[in-house]
Amino acid sequence: MSVLLSDFIKEKRRQLKLTQPELAERAGVGLRFVRELEQGKESVRLDKVNQVLALFGSEIGVVKKNEG
């Protein structure tokens, strides 16, 4: 099962009952970044994504695609 990063972030934020500004402050990123992340913007900095994901005990990295 594949989950979109934007959906994962939104769901985890809601589970913790955080607003977008609260998430941004806790993660040490800007509010605009959180908004773009939750909207599914494709060009985001992975280091900042991992700052947000660290609050949820997660991280993102390179995954080899199956070719064939």
Segment 17-54, tens digit of pLDDT: 999 999 999 999 999 999 999 999 887 788 899 999 99
CB 34 within 8 A of CB 24: yes
H helical segments located in 1-68? 5-15, 20-27, 31-38, 46-54
- Which pLDDT belongs to residue 1? 59
Per the structure, the count of domains in the chain is: 1
Question: Is 23 part of a structural domain of the chain?
Answer: yes
d(CA 55, CA 66): 30
Q: For residue 15, what are its two tokens?
A: 């589970």
Residue 47's domain is classified under what CATH number? Answer: 1.10.260.40
Containing structural domain, residue 27? 5-54
- Which pLDDT belongs to residue 45? 84
- Which pLDDT belongs to residue 2? 64
7 pLDDT band (50/70/90 cuts)? Answer: very high
* Residue 44 CA neighbour count, 13 Å, CB half: 23
